[in-house]
Amino acid sequence: MKKRFGLLLLFLAAALVMPAKDYTSLDGGHLLRGFGEEKYSLSLMAEYAYNRTWEHMGNVDIYAHMPVVKNVQIDARVQYQSANVFTGALVLRPTFDLPVGQLFAETELMYKAVARNRMSDICAALSVGWRFDYVSVQIGGFTRVMDSWDRDWHSEDKYETEPFNLLYRLEVFARPQINNWNISLALSNRDDWQMERMWQPLFMLNSRYDINEHWRLHLEAMTKITGMFHLNATFYAAALRLGATYRF
């Protein structure tokens, strides 16, 4: 047992001291949207979404990817939902090239103005991940604060907090990152626009196709199943996104 543990430590040490390969990625790390490359990009996506509560919606998503210095990127995202919900998120992502894959860490703030219900939902997340050619894993935690815009400050009303939620994402890719197209399947409790409770997983099918060195097309699908850990699973929501990215 001790011998095996020693070998494992030796392997990890060797992996860390070996010179990192020059990591050329066309994928977006755990996303397929521009992460992993040192270029600015802007994406615009149109989305049809449905859930059992708000029913049919049309949404518009805008993403900006900004590599501020080498190995440090900032992502900014905004979404308008026709259900009268607005979401904005800011992500700071340092990356570390390794001989095998790439480590990344994410600090994310997400603000959702649920205007239709006169409330806000703020999430702050910290996570780490490891991206290989065919697999990406990410794990971390987030805190949520929900507050009503009409809170009576002179009553016992308070804002609702969820101090710790687990954040996880597992994604498998069909092609290596240097390919000009890729398809992935992901299981996570968050996507770009929501951080669900840890027991409310989302299933995503993502794809990208690079037309040339500036233009990329995206097609993404997401479904949310509710009650999985009630052991009474049923369909709750779905979304289909189509859009394009321009890389400067």
Partner 1 sequence: MLLCFLCLTCNPNYDMVGMFNGTSPEIAERFADSRRFSDSAGVVHMQMPDNYRLFVCTDSHIDTTHMGLEKFIHAYKADTHPHMALHLGDLINAQAHFAHADSIMRLNGIMGSRKDTVFFTCGNHDIYFNQWHVWHQYYGSSTYWFDVRNGSKLLELFICIDTAEGTLGTEQLKWLRQLLADKKDAGYRRIIVFTHTHLFKQDNSQGHTSNLSLEETYELTRLLSEAGVELYLCGHDHSREVTSYGGVKYITVDACADEEPDPYYMVMEMGENISYEFISLLPRP
E strand or H helix that includes residue 133:
none
The dihedral through the CA atoms of 55, 158, 191, 59 has a sign that is positive
Least Å distance between CB 112 and partner 1?
Answer: 9
How is residue 2 annotated by DSSP?
H
Q: First and final CA of the chain: distance in angstroms?
A: 52
Beta bridge partners of 76: 64, 90
Q: Binding to partner 1 (CB under 8 A): which residues in 79-108?
A: none
Is residue 117 classed as helix, strand or coil in its secondary structure? helix
Task: Indicate which single residue of 103, 228, 242, 246 sits in contact with partner 1 (rule: CB under 8 A).
Answer: 228
Which of 194, 222, 243, 247 is in the footprint of partner 1 by CB under 8 A?
A: 194
**Of the ranges 19-27, 89-97, 127-135, 227-235, which one interacts with partner 1 (CB under 8 A)?**
227-235
Identify the residue among 1, 53, 70, 154 touching partner 1 (CB under 8 A): 53
Q: How far apart, in whole angstroms, are the C-alpha atoms of residue 58 and residue 242?
A: 12
Verify binding: residue 56, partner 1, rule CB under 8 A. Answer: no
* CA–CA distance, 194 with 205 (Å, rounded to integer): 16
Rg over alpha carbons for the chain, rounded to the nearest Å, is 19
Name the region of 36 (left: φ>0; alpha: ψ -120 to 50; beta: rest).
Answer: left
234 lines the binding site for partner 1 (CB under 8 A)? yes
Q: Classify 111 as helix, strand or coil.
A: strand
- Contact string 147-186 vs partner 1 (x = CB under 8 A): -x-xxx--xxxxxxxxxx---x------------------
Range in contact with partner 1 (rule: CB under 8 A) among 1-9, 11-19, 193-201, 203-211 = 193-201
Residue 138 found at the interface with partner 1 (CB under 8 A) = no
Residues that bind partner 1 (CB under 8 A): 51-55, 114, 116-119, 121, 146, 148, 150-152, 155-164, 168, 194, 196-197, 199-201, 224, 226-234, 236-237
